[in-house]
Amino acid sequence: MPIEPAWQSENRVPRVLIVDDDYEVADPVKYALEGLGFEVTHVPDGDRGVEAVDRLNPDLMVLDMMMPGRSGFLVLEHLRRTKRVGIRVIMVTGNEGERHQAYARMLGADDYIHKPFAMDKLVASAKALLNTPFPDPEQPNSESAQ
């Protein structure tokens, strides 16, 4: 049985965390998602991203791959090590390497969007991911069992 996202079961607005050092990307994303009624927090680096995840428990993270300090990959590795579940991740990056995309997906990225991107593409991904139930870890055929 799929598990509904926490924001739905808790009857609240979705919480989104943007982790990106590029304000020219982060600010428009923040405004677009706030325009949908989401609660949005932006932090400019991976170290603050890890702290914010632990503090805010977001439903969705928009995560840049290349940042000063802790990269987006290291943030994803932290989520995996701490077994954080219930957080959808959209990785945004200017890097077009297929190995990077495969590694991001292995670490739990739900979507991978290349910069520059059309805002409607990111917004559509965010809305779809926020409404997608999580697989039940008890079910042997769930994605988490792979």
pLDDT of residue 97: 79
pLDDT of residue 114: 93
The answer to whether residue 114 sits within a structural domain is yes
Q: What is the CATH number of the domain that holds 33?
A: 3.40.50.2300
> What 3-state DSSP class applies to 61?
strand
Looking up tokens 């979507």, which residue turns up? 111
C-beta atoms surrounding 122 within 10 Å: 20
pLDDT of residue 141: 58
pLDDT of residue 39: 98
DSSP line for 96-138:
--HHHHHHHHHTT-SEEEESS--HHHHHHHHHHHHTSPBPPTT
pLDDT of residue 41: 98
pTM of the model: 0.91
Structurally, the chain folds into a number of domains equal to 1
The answer to whether residue 144 sits within a structural domain is no
Mention every residue, 6+ apart, whose C-beta is less than 8 A from residue 67. 19, 20, 21, 44, 45, 46
Domain that holds residue 113: 6-132
The answer to whether residue 142 sits within a structural domain is no
pLDDT of residue 142: 46
The answer to whether residue 87 sits within a structural domain is yes
10-residue mean pLDDT series, the chain (146 residues): 90 97 96 98 96 94 92 92 88 88 92 94 97 81 46
State the maximum Cα–Cα separation within the chain, in Å, rounded to a whole number: 43
The answer to whether residue 105 sits within a structural domain is yes
